[in-house]
C-alpha cells in the first residue's frame, strides 16, 4: 500500500509562469462572418420544419461563399450568442403562427432593451440579440427575421399546400436579404 505524502492544508502552491499561460478570452471573434443564417424548427411537425428546410436550401445556395454561415436547430438556445457575435448580420428563419398560412414576412429584429435573466432552454430572436450584447458587447449591424406562417404543426414531414406554395417566395426573400447584407 502506498503512503500519502504529508501536505500542509494551508500550504501555498508555488506558481511558475513557465507552467501556466495567461488565460485567453473565451470569445476571440476568430471566425468572423458577413451573414449568419440562423434557422429553427422541428422537421417532424409539418410546417414547423420550414426553417430547417430553408436553411438546407441556403447552405446549398451559398456553399461557395465563405462569408455566409448557416445554422439550423430545433430551437434557439443561449449558446448561439457566440455565433451571432461573430456575424456582421444575422437572418433568423422560423415558422410563424401569427398570420394566414403561407404568408412570407421579413421584419427587422432589435435586442430587447433591459432584457436580463433570459430563459436557459430556448430564446426568441430579440432575446438572443440581447444576450449577445450582454455577453460579448456585440451588436450585429443588421438583424432580420424571415418567417413563413404555418398551416399545420401536426406530426408529419410534409408541408401543407399553402406553405409548399410559399417556398419559392421565401427562398427568393432569403437570397435577396443575404445578398443585401453582404453588400453593406
Task: List the domains of the chain with CATH numbers.
Answer: 33-183 (3.40.50.1450)
Q: What are 163's three cell numbers?
A: 406553405
Q: How many other C-beta atoms lie within 10 A of the C-beta of residue 89?
A: 22
Contact 80, 74 (CB under 8 A): no
- How do residues 78-101 score in pLDDT, each as one tens digit? 999 999 999 999 999 999 998 999
Torsion of CA 153, 155, 160, 163, to 10 degrees: 50
Q: Is the dihedral of CA 100, 102, 105, 109 positive or negative?
A: positive
Average pLDDT of the segment spanning 16-20: 43
- How do residues 96-154 score in pLDDT, each as one tens digit? 998 999 999 999 999 876 555 555 556 899 999 999 998 888 777 789 999 999 998 88
pTM for the complete prediction?
A: 0.80
Amino acid at each position: 500500500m502506498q503512503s500519502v505524502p504529508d501536505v500542509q492544508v494551508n500550504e501555498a502552491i508555488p506558481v511558475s509562469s513557465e507552467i501556466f499561460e495567461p488565460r485567453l478570452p473565451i470569445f476571440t471573434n476568430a471566425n468572423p462572418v458577413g451573414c449568419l443564417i440562423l434557422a429553427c424548427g422541428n422537421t417532424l411537425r409539418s410546417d414547423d420544419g420550414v426553417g430547417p428546410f430553408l436553411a438546407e436550401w441556403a447552405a446549398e445556395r451559398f456553399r461557395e461563399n465563405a462569408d455566409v454561415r448557416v445554422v439550423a436547430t430545433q430551437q434557439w438556445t443561449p449558446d448561439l450568442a457566440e455565433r451571432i457575435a461573430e456575424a456582421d448580420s444575422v437572418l433568423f428563419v422560423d415558422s410563424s403562427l401569427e398570420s394566414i398560412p403561407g404568408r412570407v414576412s421579413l421584419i427587422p429584429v432589435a435586442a430587447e432593451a433591459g432584457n436580463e435573466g433570459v430563459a436557459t432552454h430556448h430564446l426568441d430572436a430579440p432575446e438572443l440579440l440581447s444576450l449577445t450584447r450582454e455577453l460579448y458587447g456585440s451588436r450585429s449591424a443588421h438583424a432580420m427575421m424571415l418567417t413563413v406562417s404555418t398551416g399545420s404543426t401536426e406530426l408529419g414531414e410534409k408541408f401543407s399546400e399553402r406553405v409548399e406554395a410559399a417556398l419559392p417566395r421565401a427562398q427568393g426573400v432569403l437570397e435577396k436579404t443575404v445578398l443585401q447584407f453582404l453588400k453593406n
